């Protein structure tokens, strides 16, 4: 299978790799996917509670090149957006930007889920007063 130049670029030079302190009340963490399915994404964001702007974002991904590229792109896109703006990011935009083939669309879905899960986590931490994310985030939790 041939990869698009953009996927290759994100794979070779992933943006914003790393972790943020998950106990920081301003950090939201989204962990989606499952090892058995071959992809797990962890996306974290630090939100300014006054402005609701996402000031930093980090990711780590276990998965194919397209999954790595999708999550790398997602961190780039959420940075500088407000939480509400970030919630509007659609997987189809990721597909378009990275030229993902049909078999890789699930990677983009997972990236969208990761954004939503991270925001839901942030809002949960900040108190129940905030509206929750649209749709059910597929967040993994250690029970």
Partner 1 sequence: MALKLPIYMDNHATTPVDPRVVEAMLPYFTSRFGNAASRNHTFGWEAEQAVENAREQVARLINATPKEIIFTSGATESDNLAIKGVAEMYREKGNHIITMVIEHKAVLDTCKRLEKYGCQVTYLPVTKDGLIDLDDLRRAITPKTILITLMYANNEIGVLQPIEEIGKIAKEHGVIFHTDATQAVGKIPFDVQKFNVDLASLSAHKMYGPKGVGALYVRRKNPRVQLAPIIDGGGHERGMRSGTLNVPSIVGFGAACEIAQKEMATEMERLGKLRERLKGSIFKRLDEVYVNGSLEHRLPNNLNISFAYVEGESLLMGINDVAVSSGSACTSATLEPSYVLKALGVGEDLAHTSIRFGLGRFNTEEEVDYVVDRVVETVSRLRELSPLYEMAKEGVDLKQMQWKAD
Does 121 interact with partner 1 (rule: CB under 8 A)? no
Does 139 interact with partner 1 (rule: CB under 8 A)? yes
User: Among the residues of 20-90, which ranges form H helices?
Assistant: 65-78, 83-86
DSSP for 88-119? T--HHHHHHHHT--GGGHHHHHHHHHHHHHHH
Does 113 interact with partner 1 (rule: CB under 8 A)? yes
Does 95 interact with partner 1 (rule: CB under 8 A)? no
Please say which residue, 5 or 84, places its beta carbon nearer to partner 1. Answer: 5
What does the alpha-carbon distance between residue 112 and residue 94 come to, in Å, rounded to a whole number?
9
What does the alpha-carbon distance between residue 115 and residue 46 come to, in Å, rounded to a whole number?
12
Residues 38-67 that bind partner 1 (CB under 8 A): 38-42, 60-65, 67
Residues that bind partner 1 (CB under 8 A): 3, 8, 11, 14, 17, 19, 31-42, 60-65, 67-68, 103, 109, 113, 138-143
């Amino acid at each position: 299978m041939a990869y698009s130049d953009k996927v290759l670029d994100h794979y070779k030079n992933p943006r914003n790799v790393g972790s943020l302190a998950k106990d920081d009340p301003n950090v939201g963490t989204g962990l989606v996917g499952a090892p058995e399915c071959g992809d797990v994404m962890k996306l974290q964001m630090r939100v300014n509670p006054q402005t609701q702007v996402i000031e930093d974002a980090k990711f780590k991904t276990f998965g194919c090149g397209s999954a790595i590229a999708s999550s790398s792109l997602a961190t780039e896109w959420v940075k500088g957006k407000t939480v509400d703006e970030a919630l509007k990011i659609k997987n189809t935009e990721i597909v378009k930007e990275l030229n993902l083939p049909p078999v890789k669309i699930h990677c983009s879905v997972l990236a969208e889920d990761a954004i939503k899960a991270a925001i839901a986590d942030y809002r949960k931490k900040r108190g129940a007063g905030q509206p929750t994310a649209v749709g059910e985030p597929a967040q993994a939790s250690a029970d």
